[in-house]
Chains A and B, each alone.
Chain A
Amino acid sequence: MRCSKCKGRASIELRRHHAAYCKPDYLEFFDQQVERAIHKQRMFQPNDRILVGVSGGKDSLSLWDYLLRMGYDATALHIHLGIGEYSNHSHTTTVKFAQERGAPLITVDLAEQYGMGVPELSQAIRRVPCSGCGLSKRYILNKEAYDREFTVVAMGHNLDDEAATLMGNVLHWEMGALARQSPALPANREKLIRRVKPLYTVTEREVAANAILRGIEYVQEECPNSVGARSIMYKNALDQIEAQSPGTKHAFFSIFLDRIRPVMEGAQEDFELRDCDICGQATTGSVCAFCRMWQQAHRKAGENSQRAQGTRTVQGPVPDALPTEDRPV
């Protein structure tokens, strides 16, 4: 197969674009796709301070690599989730990437800073690990960005991630989530930092090709908690269709963004945001979902510890706030 641009030997075929590219032309094509997405959604300007959520996987490292190569002021935030060897490997991979490029990296250790890692958190609140993990990541990224005066939070979600999320939201008619699903969420309040997804137009396979061809060393192993995750089920279903009808994923998400989301956004009920009584971050209630979750986790962990020690659990009202040393701030 020949490169559509230079007619040399192609390294990758992109059926949805009716094109194939050699290594240098593919890497140029990839950068153009990301640049176009940033401009189309007006994600950020050269003078913005960007905090990139980096897990150590191909998507977030490809994004950070792109932003650094293009000269953006991009600092990474890595959250050590405490998921055994997977988290240790993710952390060392991210640190190595940062050191090799002399790039700024902030690490938040969930267990050190909030008292427990994802497995213990999941056990304490009796919810699937992805639930507490996702909420914690979103909250910590926004909070660290606000506290450290970053102007934008960037995440490595790709087209497959967005199409799978859209499929889940459509199948369950999650109207609120549909109205909010966007590759560029504005900073509509002082403490809610603008959140963008510059890789939303490139597929997961295209991002992996970018990482491999650029020699980016990334974590290939999967989070052990992602086994059986719904997102993978939706991705598999969409890729079955994509294999028969190239371009379907892109059409599904881009038509939603251009034609459906504006209607849904306009129909969304207004809600007022206020400061969380515990941490001060923006929320619709008196206590934000993150603080409620950690309150519950520490309370349950305390009860379990008392049970293990053979002491009687005291039944009583939920404390209004965590003890100072346990507060998630």
Chain B
Amino acid sequence: MKVIIRNPRRRELELEGSRRVDALIKELDLNPEQVLVIRDDDLLTRDVMIKNEDTVEIVSAISGGLR
């Protein structure tokens, strides 16, 4: 699968095999409270299976500094 991570800098990963969203987040050492996983313009909950041929985007939800 292709994983595009915006955290916030963009980087791309190629991972072999299928896995659930929560497993992917854990594997990438991300906090599930701080990210959203997107596939085909829709958000995925943690129990969704991502297939090997899928492309998903992981967006960081956290911004910082004084606003």
Q: Residue on A with the closest CB to B44?
A: A11
Q: Mask for A124-152, Cβ within 8 A of B = 1, else 0?
A: 00000011011001000000000000000
CA–CA, A12 and B43, complex, Å: 6
Residues of B within 8 A of A10 (CB): 45
Residues of A within 8 A of B35 (CB): 205
- A222, B64: Cβ atoms closer than 8 Å: yes
CA–CA, A16 and B31, complex, Å: 15
Residues of B within 8 A of A242 (CB): 33
Most chain A CB atoms below 10 A, which of B31, B34, B64: B64
- B67, A235: Cβ atoms closer than 8 Å: no
Q: Any chain A CB within 8 A of the CB of B59?
A: yes
- B62, A23: Cβ atoms closer than 8 Å: no
Q: Residue on B with the closest CB to A215?
A: B41
CA–CA, A234 and B32, complex, Å: 16
Q: Which of A51-59, A108-116, A175-183, A278-286 contacts B (4 or more CB under 8 A)?
A: A51-59
Q: Any chain A CB within 8 A of the CB of B14?
A: no
- A226, B65: Cβ atoms closer than 8 Å: yes
Residues of A within 8 A of B28 (CB): none
- A13, B6: Cβ atoms closer than 8 Å: no
CA–CA, A242 and B67, complex, Å: 23
- Cβ-defined partner of B67 (8 Å) among A157, A208, A236, A239: A157
Residues of B within 8 A of A131 (CB): 66
If A213-B43, A221-B8, A239-B31 touch, whether A205 touches B63 (CB-CB below 8 Å) is: no
Q: Any chain B CB within 8 A of the CB of A6?
A: no
CA–CA, A224 and B59, complex, Å: 18
Q: Residue on B with the closest CB to A224?
A: B65
Q: Any chain B CB within 8 A of the CB of A204?
A: yes
Residues of B within 8 A of A134 (CB): 66-67
Residues of A within 8 A of B64 (CB): 222-223, 226, 229, 231-232, 235
Q: Any chain A CB within 8 A of the CB of B38?
A: yes
- B42, A208: Cβ atoms closer than 8 Å: no
Complex interface residues of chain B between 34 and 67 (CB less than 8 A to chain A): 34-36, 38, 42-48, 59-67
Residues of B within 8 A of A212 (CB): 36, 38, 43, 59
- A156, B33: Cβ atoms closer than 8 Å: no
Most chain A CB atoms below 10 A, which of B38, B47, B62, B67: B67
- A130, B65: Cβ atoms closer than 8 Å: yes
Write the nearest CB–CB distance from A1 to chain B, whole angstroms: 4
Most chain B CB atoms below 10 A, which of A58, A156, A161, A222: A222
